[in-house]
Structure 1
Amino acid sequence: MAKTVIIDEFGGPEVLQLRDLAVGDPGPGEIRIRQSAAGLNFIDVYQRSGLYPNNLPLTLGMEGAGIVEAVGEGVSHLKEGDRAAYAALPPGAYAEARVMPAAHVVRLPDAIGFDEAASAMLQGMTVEYLFHRTTPLKSGDTVLFHAAAGGVGLLACQWARSEGITLIGTAGTDEKCALAVEHGATQCINYQTEDFTAKVKEFTDGRGVDVVMDSVGRDTFIGSLDSLRTLGMLISFGAASGPVEPFTMSDLATRGSLKVTRPMLFHHFEKEGACQEMAAHLFDKLESGAVKTTIGARFALDDIRAAHEAMEARKTTGSTIIGM
């Protein structure tokens, strides 16, 4: 048996229920992992609310770390007793233990702790694909990154600095802006007090940035388009403020032949070996010290509702982890 967070209906944090569930043994291609920590991410909120629909009942959580307890037939890259971490489908990381597909679970280097891994797998590999797999980026390029003081944002600030990329961040308070700059943002704009589009044009001598990375969605989308240079790209990878409202293709043409994409991490995993490659790249950044995780809050599994409430109220900075 394992304590597990599950929902029977979509809704607010009140739908999160903690239950004791049987775990079972792994089948072919599966492992059973006893978890030390899980990561909290906005995708969990989207799934809980029904914005990203799933079949019910549903166990939430997309990333975690712990010890492999058992290995099913056909699994060769992991063995019982291995330290392991993952960002993977299906959801289910909010649990003391779980059985799950092994393909997207990776062996964790000894130098990286469980809390660090649980706070970095989903967010870190998201940053990896944003900077290396979505559109070509090189040293000297400019990026506008919204929510730069969040878990993904602080990793992105450091990643950009390590790659020689100029990152302009946005955040909702002066304190969060200072945190983003401390982690590698060249500038950070308080969008509560300043027009971020105007400031971006000021910082880039009227040119605009090469790429915008936007996980906010509805509230920032048009401003993000207007922050781009001619032929620039908007990477929309989340919708914390709500879904992007309809726009026309001519909106892209008149603003400078812009490009827009809506990628998802797990589509990158469809290429054989990509998950392991992306994790190895992330681990290299962590082990070298070029990127460090910032754990802003830690909640017990029993306090999962409070964790969701804090994230939705924008009261968190850095990564939030759930301890088992």
Structure 2
Amino acid sequence: MVKAIRVYEQGGPEVLKWEDVEIGEPKEGEIRVKNKAIGLNFIDVYFRKGLYNVSTMPYTPGMEAVGVVTAVGPGFTDRKAGDVVAYAGLPMGSYSEEQILPAKVAVPVPPSIDPIVAASVMLKGMTAQFLVRRCFKVESGHKVLIHAAAGGAGSLLCQWANALGATVIGTVSTEEKAAQAKEDGCHHVINYKKEDFVEAVKKITPEGVHVVYDSVGKDTFQGSLACLRSRGYMVSFGQASGAPDPVPLSDLAAKSLFLTRGSLFQYTETRDELLETAEEVFANVASGVLRVRVNHKYSLSQAAQAHADLENRKTSGSVVLIPDGAEL
């Protein structure tokens, strides 16, 4: 038996229960991993609250972790016991001291990358990679608007877009987060609590931005569209404030706008795509292009408190859960 977080019903952070679970041994094509560090992401909140549906109840949440392979199922030789591996995405279940994974979803972690850093950058880092490199390819001279610029994904997006030569505009909710966003490469920071971000963007660039990366959703969606220049790209990749209202196609016609709802899982469908994406993220961390802000660490058993703090905007950067007794 191992300890894990279990969820029996949708709801607030209080539905996260700390329990004993039996995970069994790896079958063909599977590995058993003892987790060292577990990434907490807003998608975990979406599933917990019911914004996204889970296939079975009860379930163990979590979609990102780094750990050590402790057992390998038959018929698979690419991974071996003792390997340090990371994964991000499906299957869900990383809020556990140990877990069974399909070997094909695990990627090797370079020795130069700390497990806590790797656990905090896999999902958010690969999300940043597909957003700025493939969903809309950011290039030198582009003007980019990034909402929640001090969040885990937002921080990495700002750094990556800046490194690619873009003019980066970020929105934040506090002066403390504004200072962090500036450190992370934002050339212009807008505190949306103090000023209307649409008007602020127009002052910075009257013609509008080339692309908006919006993980907030309902509260920012219409304003984001208003910030775009002709033929601009609206990239929605989250909905922290709730699902946006439906958009008539005619709303896009006035400026011939592009609208997409990107998801990492469609950009890492093949093993080669997954490895290439993770390798580029780890290379940028190792070279210093990306500075991972692990600003908050909680014991895995304190997952409910970590969820509450994330939802109440008390966190910035990445949030990591550490299993009790994990060797780091």
The TM-score range, normalised by the shorter chain, is over 0.9
Equivalent in the alignment of 2:103:
102
* Aligned counterparts of 1:268 and 1:59: Cα–Cα separation in 2: 24
Q: Give the C-alpha shift of residue 77 in structure 1.
A: 2.9
Equivalent in the alignment of 2:326:
none
What does residue range 207-286 of structure 1 map to in structure 2 within 5 Å? 207-254=207-254, 256-286=255-285
Equivalent in the alignment of 1:88:
89
CA deviation profile, 1:3-60 (whole Å, cap 9, x unmatched): 1101011111111011111121111121110001101110000000111000211110
CA deviation profile, 1:47-78 (whole Å, cap 9, x unmatched): 00111000211110110001011112343432
* Aligned counterparts of 1:263 and 1:74: Cα–Cα separation in 2: 35
CA deviation profile, 1:229-261 (whole Å, cap 9, x unmatched): 00001000000000011120001112x011110
Task: Kindly indicate whether the alpha-carbon contact (under 8 Å) linking 2:105 and 2:271 is maintained by their aligned counterparts in 1.
Answer: no
* Matched AA of 1:286: V
Percent pairwise identity: 47
Give RMSD over aligned pairs: 1.0
* Aligned counterparts of 2:183 and 2:59: Cα–Cα separation in 1: 38
Task: Kindly indicate whether the alpha-carbon contact (under 8 Å) linking 1:36 and 1:114 is maintained by their aligned counterparts in 2.
Answer: yes
Q: Give the C-alpha shift of residue 90 in structure 1.
A: 1.3
Equivalent in the alignment of 2:171:
170
Equivalent in the alignment of 1:12:
12
Task: Kindly indicate whether the alpha-carbon contact (under 8 Å) linking 2:156 and 2:290 is maintained by their aligned counterparts in 1.
Answer: yes
Q: Does 1:297 align with 2:301?
A: no
* Matched AA of 2:317: G
Q: 1:30 to 1:43 in 2, by over 3 A?
A: same
* Aligned counterparts of 2:127 and 2:135: Cα–Cα separation in 1: 10
* Matched AA of 1:7: V
* Matched AA of 1:288: S
* Matched AA of 2:273: A
Equivalent in the alignment of 2:126:
125
Task: Kindly indicate whether the alpha-carbon contact (under 8 Å) linking 2:138 and 2:161 is maintained by their aligned counterparts in 1.
Answer: no
Equivalent in the alignment of 1:67:
68
* Aligned counterparts of 1:70 and 1:203: Cα–Cα separation in 2: 55
Q: Does 1:35 align with 2:44?
A: no
> Secondary structure of 2:168's partner?
strand
* Matched AA of 1:305: A
> Secondary structure of 1:284's partner?
helix
> Secondary structure of 2:285's partner?
helix
CA deviation profile, 1:192-223 (whole Å, cap 9, x unmatched): 1111111111111x111000000000000000
Task: Kindly indicate whether the alpha-carbon contact (under 8 Å) linking 1:88 and 1:105 is maintained by their aligned counterparts in 2.
Answer: no
In structure 1, stretches of 5+ residues that fail to align are none
Bigger mean CA offset, 157-166 vs 26-35: 157-166
* Matched AA of 1:270: E
- When normalised by structure 1's length, the TM-score is 0.97
* Matched AA of 1:293: V
CA deviation profile, 1:121-143 (whole Å, cap 9, x unmatched): 00000000000110222111111
Q: 1:138 to 1:75 in 2, by over 3 A?
A: farther
* Matched AA of 2:261: R
Work out the number of aligned pairs and report it. 322
* Matched AA of 1:83: V
> Secondary structure of 1:122's partner?
helix
Task: Kindly indicate whether the alpha-carbon contact (under 8 Å) linking 1:34 and 1:98 is maintained by their aligned counterparts in 2.
Answer: yes
Equivalent in the alignment of 2:314:
315
> Secondary structure of 2:48's partner?
helix
Q: Give the C-alpha shift of residue 103 in structure 1.
A: 1.3
* Aligned counterparts of 2:77 and 2:190: Cα–Cα separation in 1: 48
Q: Give the C-alpha shift of residue 272 in structure 1.
A: 4.0
- When normalised by structure 2's length, the TM-score is 0.96
Task: Kindly indicate whether the alpha-carbon contact (under 8 Å) linking 1:145 and 1:212 is maintained by their aligned counterparts in 2.
Answer: yes
Task: Kindly indicate whether the alpha-carbon contact (under 8 Å) linking 1:104 and 1:276 is maintained by their aligned counterparts in 2.
Answer: no
* Aligned counterparts of 2:90 and 2:176: Cα–Cα separation in 1: 35
